[in-house]
Chains A and B, each alone.
Chain A
Amino acid sequence: MYQSQHFDKYNLINGVWDEMYSENSTVRDHYQKVIQYLSQESPDDLAKKEELAKRLFMTQGITFTVYNSGEGIEKIFPFDIIPRVITATEWAFVEKGIKQRLTALNLFLKDIYHNQFIVKDGIVPIDIVYSCPHFLREMYQLDVPYDVYVHIAGIDLIRDHDGTFYVLEDNLRTPSGVSYMLENREITKRLFPDLLPNCGVRSVTEYPSILYKNLLSLSPRQISNPTIVLLSPGIYNSAYFEHTTLARLMGVELVEGRDLVVNNHKVYMKTTTGLQQVDVIYRRVDDEFLDPLVFNPNSVLGVAGLMGAYRKGNVAIVNAIGNGVADDKATYIYVPDMIKYYLNEEPILKNVPTHRLSNKDERDHVFKNINTMVVKKTNESGGYGMLMGHASTEEEIEKYKLEILKDPRNFIAQPTISLSAAPCYIGGVLQPRRIDLRPYALCGPDGIEIVPGGLTRVALTEGSLVVNSSQGGGSKDTWVLA
């Protein structure tokens, strides 16, 4: 093991892939330079760096507000200063796999909202589609520009005990977190001067320009400067910081539902000099709140008549409406089949083996082995409504089983994947914590582009496997080496 005071207490977790150490406890090549750098720093220096990181997040207002008993408390999204490093080979593999997967998913969405060949050919069962609450009949036979439904995808990847990458979920609706990818990098530049260029880390700063270029290409009006807006639920949304960051970096207007109005199937924004037509909406508002006339009638976050304008083709919406049918956890099971069906290719990235609980045999199997399983609701995200078999009491399990039996379609089960571990600076020393990876893929008329990097989320509690920020997770800067 590497001789350094920071690593005295670094105990490899049994049966878990460690990003930094190989099985025989030597530092992997791609972590060498980082570790060398760290070993020259005293524990005090690292503590100072952590302090600096916190201060930078705070003064830049990179915070989210938790509303508790009428009072807003500012919190920063926990940031671990030690970067996560990915080799060029690993990245090439991941990039190829995501491109393949996203291509198939886009084709699936087009198919499912048009002719439904994949259903007719018996690949995907019809009940999966129609029982999904995110399948929207309003999208049926609607042509979207360039047949792109998923313009922005945040596909979550994890690594099992042997380092194999698995896809955990496809986030195809309004994936968030990309601003943390960008901000984490900015902070790391300040924390570790010269280390990034020395290690040959690829830049992520292109993201906003690529996204902007893609949004521009979607404008229904063929004019030189179409109006692009980012639709946010407003300052009380936990991702508001991200919305402003993206709007600022792309130079587009940040709007709320109340700033927009639909007239004669066209969308306008209210400005100090009258109404101005809007061509492209990058929305960070969920489907069901977008248009109170069509979806949730109580929503004030959306715009009345938006869906009508969209169907007329007078406005482009990013991501397309109704994408939820493709990232539903029950649909997830069929993604490898989709890849074979649409592309005639073998899937590059693996799925985590998943059991549908509506199938009685599979349900019995899951119930029998529930201690090694993770059970999830098909249409929940953010780590909510989950049962981690190995960490639950008998009572919790029995209660959850009853819930499953009420509506089995709503649940899937997966064997507990161990999640790889990476060094984190916790309590003054380096300790291994579990991580995942969310690269951001952008799909435009010219194909799919993925900036080399992503958001590495980390479960900061010892032994925890849940990386979601709502459940005590944090993040790390993610380095892809050239």
Chain B
Amino acid sequence: MLSRVAASFYWLSRYIERSDGILRMLKINYASSQDSVDGFSWEPVIRIFSGPDEELMTKLNNDSRAVLKYMVIDKENHNSILNIITLARENARSVQEHIPKDLWQCLNEYYHTVKEPRIASGLKKDDPIGVLDVLIKQVMLYYGTAEITMERGQGRSFMNIGKYLERAIQSIDILDVKYGPLNANPNLLTDITYWKHLLMSIGGYELYQKTYRDGLEAQNVLEQVILNNDFPRSVIYSVNNIQRYFDRLKNNSNVNDYREISFHIGRLQSSIKYSSVKSIGQEGLHQYLIRVKDDLYQIGNQLNEYYFANS
């Protein structure tokens, strides 16, 4: 497979996964903004995807519709759904002959849907959840189509590596941002809605209910999002899958490159597997998350160098 094509697969997939994460997060956060008396803040969401930006926060003024517009269709926002899906589509376009026609059409439709006027007008005056659902459905269609039609080959491995890498980074960012304010405001530790929304925004609330019988607790949430093997958005689950799909790239002609990245992934996987909520607490959550994220970035860089021929 051409290096450029592999890179496009990887990025295509990262962008789609990111759009999925953003849309779900927006949906839940919007719902909670309608459900809170003492000042709901959009700041964490904006921080995850746009970084800390005082000016922007002032401009958006914590207004739900303004935030949604900014996150979904604002051309100036690099991480708006519109821009992300445009990039995903450009990547898909450059590998069009490698992906099934169904998948290309699906992505193409997603792109045209985001550009439809009804999305903009819906965010402005109709029910925003309905609008977000339209888009979330497009992502689900994409994943379903990819699952059914993609050839089980290298291309799919690169796609899945991209997908899980992006997912792991997102889960880490969410934890980091959500646990940040705890030091300043210990009351949050026992704020049930706060944790409920965190879990719901990554689709983990039901699983949590089944696993932990004793109500919502910060420590348990942490355990589920980092260490639960069965939670599809947990960090360990994502890293396991990076490992799994990277294994399939093993080939006689690039043994050394393969081994180097494989070593790196394996080390990261073990370091997460053999940590516990307690050991994470000792290291400091923020430090721990930063360390894992750095490792993930490095794996991305190594792929870029050894497999995508961009050194």
Contact pick for A244, options B2, B6, B96, B253, CB 8 Å: B96
> Contact: B2 with A59, CB < 8 Å?
no
Question: Mask for B118-158, Cβ within 8 A of A = 1, else 0?
Answer: 00000000000000000000000000000000000010001
> Contact: B254 with A274, CB < 8 Å?
yes
Given contacts A61-B108, A269-B2, contact A235 B94 (CB under 8 A): yes
Q: A286-342: which residues lie under 8 A (CB-CB) from chain B? A: none
Most buried by B among A253, A254, A256: A254
Set of chain B residues within 8 Å of A254, measured between Cβ atoms = 96-97
> Contact: B105 with A272, CB < 8 Å?
no
Set of chain A residues within 8 Å of B249, measured between Cβ atoms = 272
User: How would you classify the secondary structure of chain B's contact residues: helix, strand, loop or mixed?
Assistant: helix
Which bracket fits the contact residues of A?
20 to 34
Set of chain A residues within 8 Å of B6, measured between Cβ atoms = 272
A125 to chain B, nearest CB (A): 45
> Contact: B97 with A61, CB < 8 Å?
no
Set of chain A residues within 8 Å of B158, measured between Cβ atoms = 272
User: In the complex the two chains form, what is the Cα distance from A253 to B97 in whole Å?
Assistant: 8
Q: Counting CB contacts under 8 A, is A258 at the interface?
A: yes
Set of chain B residues within 8 Å of A256, measured between Cβ atoms = 4
> Contact: B97 with A259, CB < 8 Å?
no
B164 to chain A, nearest CB (A): 18
Set of chain B residues within 8 Å of A58, measured between Cβ atoms = 112
User: In the complex the two chains form, what is the Cα distance from A244 to B100 in whole Å?
Assistant: 12
Given contacts A59-B108, A274-B254, contact A259 B93 (CB under 8 A): no
Set of chain A residues within 8 Å of B254, measured between Cβ atoms = 272-274
Q: Counting CB contacts under 8 A, is B279 at the interface?
A: no
> Contact: B3 with A59, CB < 8 Å?
no
Set of chain A residues within 8 Å of B35, measured between Cβ atoms = none
Given contacts A58-B112, A61-B104, A61-B105, contact A271 B2 (CB under 8 A): yes
Q: Counting CB contacts under 8 A, is B217 at the interface?
A: no
Q: Counting CB contacts under 8 A, is A189 at the interface?
A: no
User: How would you classify the secondary structure of chain A's contact residues: helix, strand, loop or mixed?
Assistant: mixed
Given contacts A240-B93, A273-B251, A273-B253, contact A59 B105 (CB under 8 A): yes
Q: Counting CB contacts under 8 A, is B1 at the interface?
A: yes
Q: Counting CB contacts under 8 A, is B290 at the interface?
A: no
Contact pick for A258, options B4, B96, B109, CB 8 Å: B4
Q: B263-311: which residues lie under 8 A (CB-CB) from chain A? A: 307-309
Question: Which B-chain residue is minimally distant from A255 (CB atoms)?
Answer: B2
Q: Counting CB contacts under 8 A, is B247 at the interface?
A: no
> Contact: A253 with B2, CB < 8 Å?
yes
B299 to chain A, nearest CB (A): 15
A235 to chain B, nearest CB (A): 5
Set of chain B residues within 8 Å of A248, measured between Cβ atoms = 96-97, 101
User: In the complex the two chains form, what is the Cα distance from A58 to B108 in whole Å?
Assistant: 8
Q: Counting CB contacts under 8 A, is B90 at the interface?
A: yes
Given contacts A272-B6, A272-B249, contact A59 B94 (CB under 8 A): no
Question: Which B-chain residue is minimally distant from A251 (CB atoms)?
Answer: B97
Question: Which A-chain residue is minimally distant from B96 (CB atoms)?
Answer: A244
Q: Counting CB contacts under 8 A, is A234 at the interface?
A: yes
Contact pick for A235, options B93, B97, B253, CB 8 Å: B93
Question: Mask for B233-264, Cβ within 8 A of A = 1, else 0?
Answer: 00000000000000001010110000000000
Q: A62-102: which residues lie under 8 A (CB-CB) from chain B? A: 71
Question: Which B-chain residue is minimally distant from A71 (CB atoms)?
Answer: B75
Q: A414-467: which residues lie under 8 A (CB-CB) from chain B? A: none
5 A-B pairs within 8 Å (CB atoms) are namely A61-B96, A61-B108, A254-B96, A270-B4, A272-B6
The 3 A-B pairs of least Cβ separation, nearest first, read A248-B97, A244-B96, A247-B97
Known: A259-B4, A269-B2. 17 other contacts (CB 8 A): A59-B105, A60-B105, A61-B96, A247-B97, A248-B101, A254-B97, A255-B2, A256-B4, A258-B4, A271-B1, A272-B1, A272-B154, A273-B1, A273-B251, A273-B254, A274-B253, A274-B254
Query: Which residues of A does B touch, CB under 8 Å?
Result: 58-61, 71, 234-235, 240, 244-245, 247-248, 253-256, 258-259, 269-274
